[in-house]
A and B are shown apart, each in its own frame.
Chain A
């Protein structure tokens, strides 16, 4: 089954719901659920970067955690190299985790403050019983050098490093087993712009060196676009648009993607002053009781009556370009498409 055509990761109809509240017996009898991720499907090919973008609460991080089985999905399937993760036993899951690693958003919270850098970076090797202690430390030194840290700092503690340096430690840890896929959950959003660029370049270099695929989760569209081969946009638990990075920017079809693009600040006063912007009103609705039909219709500038009733299909509108909007069409929208 695992031939060349099998995608590295295949996600099918992934849905994740959390019970709300902490009522009697942890809300086990409450019917209300937070619909964090709803029917999301996509594939990641070996060696590519797949960007997942959306605002906070859109379910992009939950998707990453569900794939990693940190929070197992409510329904839907995740296949890693053709194998169904939910059917794996403990040993198989552990093996899978050698090939799938995670980089966290918060470089302060994701490193154990009581462990040295050497212990932190070598931990995956220890867990999977690889190498002797000396070999591990040699590998750690090598990797610290690769990620741009001083290998002599192997015995230091995380609190002695700046945010950007800590994120490099996290990256070194995720690469030490040379995994096939790394899920990067907002790896640069806690960093300053200048440090952010360093880390993005590092991730690109490492990808070229090791051929690792990334699932790159972020809220910053320009960052995601910069690093990704393909980009998916999520809104309130649903995937609304998916395409290669070029056409997502050149021809955003979903009105939400368009508003996200127009909201990204551009470091160019002339462009910034002259361009038109769609500023969405209000906040995203609560995922406890998501809007009927298209979940975006309450904030959509082009919503029609149909949008509140019918859930739009996630359909292919161009080669490899998917969009979930009744009125999706490469911009500019032609008058005839609007069903008044």
Chain B
């Protein structure tokens, strides 16, 4: 007989759990599930790097007005003096990311771009999540005709290529930052609704929900006290990853000239401006590219880390 190690992993885990019955009223401090999850997250190096990186980016972006213009120069300067003196300088101590054709400091523009990209990522994800939660909850909890309508609607949304759909919507409602929020936010709900629906469906089948029903609990109470707290973990994970996705979509839109309107810098517009000088001044495109790459990667890694940390199955092992 074979003992394939993947199934054996389960057995070993079970054996370790068996050997690890600790309970018995020992007086260790009470640990909550979220507390435990955080403890596990802290052990995940990649996720911790991601958190640190995201925090750095956020702090720099939030405090940008206080120091960036004076230290690095106005990101949106358009006077001829700057332009003549500083046009297309290579990276140096004074301009770590170099300067663009108009003599504006690229680092300063990348930092202001971060403000826009992060805001789009977070706000758009917030909109998607809000819609997705309501739709997913309706579909899963009431089932039947609700489920059919909402899920078929989601299927229709998902059947269109996402970026094309966003572009089409922007074309209808016009570009500009608010419209980018709305387009990305509204069109992002189907996948969140799906994830939430399946999470709810599995929680709904659990004994503790039956227990609450058998006690006579109302629907509202069952959703608020039992189903939501136990299915929200998957949404936290999914939303975190979705932020990265939204940033990417915004960059794509801006790159195509459909998102943020110049001279406001977003990472997408910076790349779009920089690509013309890829041969001669590659930093114009590479630097904002790295900013997108690292930030999106950080959100993805954080999401991965959260998923592992929140996995209730792992807690007994």
B206 touches A162 (CB 8 A): no
Q: Which residue of B lies closest to A128 (CB)?
A: B216
Query: Is residue A110 within 8 Å, beta carbon to beta carbon, of the partner chain?
Result: yes
Cβ contacts under 8 Å, A102 to chain B:
210-211, 214
Min C-beta distance of B248 to chain A, whole Å: 33
Q: What CA separation (Å) do A124 and B213 show in the bound complex?
A: 10
Q: What CA separation (Å) do A156 and B29 show in the bound complex?
A: 9
Cβ contacts under 8 Å, A98 to chain B:
216
Min C-beta distance of B5 to chain A, whole Å: 26
Min C-beta distance of B247 to chain A, whole Å: 31
Q: How large is the interface on B (under 10, 10 to 19, 20 to 34, 35 or more residues)?
A: 20 to 34
Q: What CA separation (Å) do A94 and B212 show in the bound complex?
A: 11
Most buried by A among B21, B216, B226, B229: B216
Cβ contacts under 8 Å, A70 to chain B:
210, 213-214
Query: Is residue A150 within 8 Å, beta carbon to beta carbon, of the partner chain?
Result: yes
Number of interchain pairs (Cβ within 8 Å) = 81
Q: Which of A128, A160, A165 contacts B30 (CB 8 A)?
A: A160
Query: Is residue A189 within 8 Å, beta carbon to beta carbon, of the partner chain?
Result: no
Cβ contacts under 8 Å, B215 to chain A:
97, 101, 123-124, 127-128
Q: What CA separation (Å) do A94 and B217 show in the bound complex?
A: 8
CB-CB contacts below 8 Å: B149-171 with A: none
Min C-beta distance of A222 to chain B, whole Å: 25
Binds B, one of A50-58, A111-119, A228-236, A326-334: A111-119
A150 touches B25 (CB 8 A): yes
Q: Which residue of B lies closest to A91 (CB)?
A: B216
A104 touches B216 (CB 8 A): no
Query: Is residue A75 within 8 Å, beta carbon to beta carbon, of the partner chain?
Result: no
Known A-B contacts A112-B225, A114-B230; the reply to A97 vs B33 at CB < 8 A is: no
Cβ contacts under 8 Å, A123 to chain B:
212, 215, 217, 225
Q: What CA separation (Å) do A109 and B212 show in the bound complex?
A: 12
Query: Is residue B208 within 8 Å, beta carbon to beta carbon, of the partner chain?
Result: yes
Q: What CA separation (Å) do A161 and B31 show in the bound complex?
A: 12
Binary interface profile of B, 197-223, with partner A (CB < 8 Å = 1, else 0)? Answer: 000000000111011111111100100
Q: What CA separation (Å) do A115 and B217 show in the bound complex?
A: 15
Query: Is residue A93 within 8 Å, beta carbon to beta carbon, of the partner chain?
Result: yes
Binary interface profile of B, 1-27, with partner A (CB < 8 Å = 1, else 0)? Answer: 000000000000000000001011100
CB-CB contacts below 8 Å: B295-317 with A: 312, 315-316
Min C-beta distance of A18 to chain B, whole Å: 14
Q: What CA separation (Å) do A102 and B316 show in the bound complex?
A: 26
A173 touches B230 (CB 8 A): no
Query: Is residue B32 within 8 Å, beta carbon to beta carbon, of the partner chain?
Result: yes
Q: What CA separation (Å) do A111 and B21 show in the bound complex?
A: 18
Query: Is residue A220 within 8 Å, beta carbon to beta carbon, of the partner chain?
Result: no
Min C-beta distance of A97 to chain B, whole Å: 4
B208 touches A157 (CB 8 A): no
Q: What CA separation (Å) do A197 and B261 show in the bound complex?
A: 74
Min C-beta distance of B32 to chain A, whole Å: 6
Cβ contacts under 8 Å, B226 to chain A:
112
A112 touches B30 (CB 8 A): no
Q: What CA separation (Å) do A155 and B27 show in the bound complex?
A: 13
A113 touches B217 (CB 8 A): no
CB-CB contacts below 8 Å: A121-139 with B: 123-124, 127-128
Min C-beta distance of B226 to chain A, whole Å: 5
Q: What CA separation (Å) do A43 and B149 show in the bound complex?
A: 44
Cβ contacts under 8 Å, B211 to chain A:
102, 104, 110-111, 170, 173
CB-CB contacts below 8 Å: A142-173 with B: 150, 153, 155-157, 159-162, 165, 170, 173
B31 touches A160 (CB 8 A): yes
A155 touches B30 (CB 8 A): yes
Q: What CA separation (Å) do A136 and B270 show in the bound complex?
A: 61
Q: Which residue of A lies closest to B30 (CB)?
A: A156
Beyond the given A110-B207, A127-B217, please list 16 additional residue pairs across the A-B interface where CB-CB is below 8 A.
Answer: A68-B214, A70-B210, A97-B215, A105-B207, A110-B211, A112-B230, A114-B229, A115-B229, A123-B217, A123-B225, A124-B216, A127-B216, A127-B221, A162-B21, A162-B24, A170-B211
- In order of increasing CB-CB distance, the 9 nearest A-B pairs are A97-B216, A110-B207, A94-B216, A109-B207, A114-B229, A162-B23, A102-B214, A112-B208, A104-B207
13 pairs, A vs B, C-beta closer than 8 Å: A109-B207, A112-B212, A112-B225, A112-B226, A115-B229, A123-B217, A127-B215, A127-B218, A128-B216, A150-B25, A160-B23, A161-B23, A165-B23
